Amino acid sequence: MRPHEQAQPPQDYFRYVNVDAGWVDRRIFWDEAIYERELEAIFARCWQFVAHDSQIPNAGDFVTTYLGEDGVIVSRHTDGKVYVYLNACPHRGNKICFADEGNARRFTCNYHGWAFSTAGELTGLPSEREAYDAGDIDKAAWGPRRARVETYKGMIFATFDPDAPGLEEYLGDYRWYLDAFLDNDEGGIEFLPGTIKSYANANWKFGVENFIGDAYHAWWTHDSGGRAMMGGPFPAYDPKDTYHASVNGHGWEFALEGFGDIAILGSQEVIDYYAALKPKIAARLGELRARLFGSLASAAMFPNMTFLPGIHTFRMWLPRGPRKLELRVWTVVPKNAPQSVKQAINIGCNMTFNPAGTLEMDDGENWEGNTRTNRGWVSRHEKLHYGCGKSRQVEHPELPGIVHEGQFNDANQRLFYQRWADLMNAKSWSDVPQRYAPRYAGRPTR
């Protein structure tokens, strides 16, 4: 059964999520059947980030990654287009490419030698004349299955669902926030070379929800790391001009002071660089987004892409079963920044948010603990509290999305799980309710 030919879901997944009451059932972080439904209803259906243009600039450049647990090759073909297709040979199913990245003229399966172009076309079979009689195989019909591919300001996304809405519709008004990260300067962003991969015995959703809006944990979990980096505790929490904003399950929690995350990098050169850039951001995107960028913030695009826009760490949470995740991390920098600024950002990211960073180690231990306790039958059937800030929804004259006041809030998590349940229940995209009317036209896509 193809992903767009999904069967009737066996149950109402809102039995596991109550947005109004503010709770989530713990079984969604443990149950095998729920996880299998996620692979079908979310990861085989939603747009997911697979690469950035800067990672595959030339013909033949490729990276390998995953949509859910389906391995894919992401490659730039000789026609300049990016193709995404299953990293599995249609002959006997072996993995086609074992490298994480590189440049290739073709990909050849090491089992029987079937060869594929960088567009995912089956181009050659060893001993074809001797092994195959005329009419045995139509090579044009036996390439690995291709995904749909669309880009947004250098970011490359893919989905296997032919009925999914277009990428910009999928993003909706989240583009207003995303542009503050991707398009705050001419030239946009680029990914620095190198990918950090690590694994945690934790459910993938715990990592995503931490970045979609859990500022609350930082003052407690990261207190010792903050003291080590800053020579003292985090400043006292001030709820003024702080928000949660959610669009289609995507979320951004943020303050508007302008430099909190940039300062965490610990480089005066980076602080000075952005101080000089701020007026240009205001002219390009408006004063409000100039204040938003670089502030204490974290963000996530549903289902599994997250980033810290001021600290410049970018990550994907790849599911490896209900109780294990693979985390892939990159450093993102302004393309037009001086090389010394890029290097300072990279050093700051590695000191804070990588598996050995002062802040990442705290989080990984918590996510594993969140998952491991569900081994108990009684524990697993309890509910988790997500009620913080239920009464603080506001209509903001400039901020798009479903907006709540206060960074200490569970609003984005609640709406993330609402989107999760909507998709888990839906037989097709036409069944997914629209819970927010878009209003942002957006800047032209480069």
Ordered structural domains, the chain, with CATH = 48-150 (2.102.10.10), 173-431 (3.90.380.10)
SS (H, E, C) the chain: CCCCCCCCCCCCHHHCEECCCCEEEHHHHCCHHHHHHHHHHHHCCCCEEEEEHHHCCCCCEEEEEEECCEEEEEEECCCCCEEEEECCCCCCCCCCCCCCEEECCEEECCCCCCEEECCCCEEECCCHHHHCCCCCCCHHHCCCCECEEEEECCEEEEECCCCCCCHHHHHCCHHHHHHHHHCCCCCCEEECCCCEEEEECCCHHHHHHHHHHEHHHHHHHCHHHHHHHHCCCCCCCCCCCCEEEEECCEEEEECCCCCHHHHHCCCHHHHHHHHHHHHHHHHHHCHHHHHHCCCCEEEEECCCEEEECCCCEEEEEEECCCCCEEEEEEEEEECCCCHHHHHHHHHHHHHHCCCCCCCHHHHHHHHHHHHHHHHCHHHHCCEEECCCCCCCEECCCCCCCEEEECCECCHHHHHHHHHHHHHHHCCCHHHCCCCCCCCCCCCCCC
Q: What is the pLDDT along the chain (446 residues), one digit of tens a residue?
A: 444 445 556 689 999 999 999 999 999 999 999 999 999 999 999 999 999 999 999 999 999 999 999 999 999 999 999 999 999 999 999 999 999 999 999 999 999 999 999 999 999 999 988 899 888 999 999 999 999 999 999 999 999 999 999 999 999 999 999 999 999 999 999 999 999 999 999 999 999 999 999 888 877 877 777 777 666 777 777 889 999 999 999 999 999 999 888 988 889 999 999 999 999 999 999 999 999 999 999 999 999 999 999 999 999 999 999 999 999 999 999 999 999 999 999 999 988 888 878 777 778 888 899 999 999 999 999 999 999 999 999 999 999 999 999 999 999 999 999 999 999 999 999 999 999 888 887 777 65
What pTM was computed for the model? 0.94
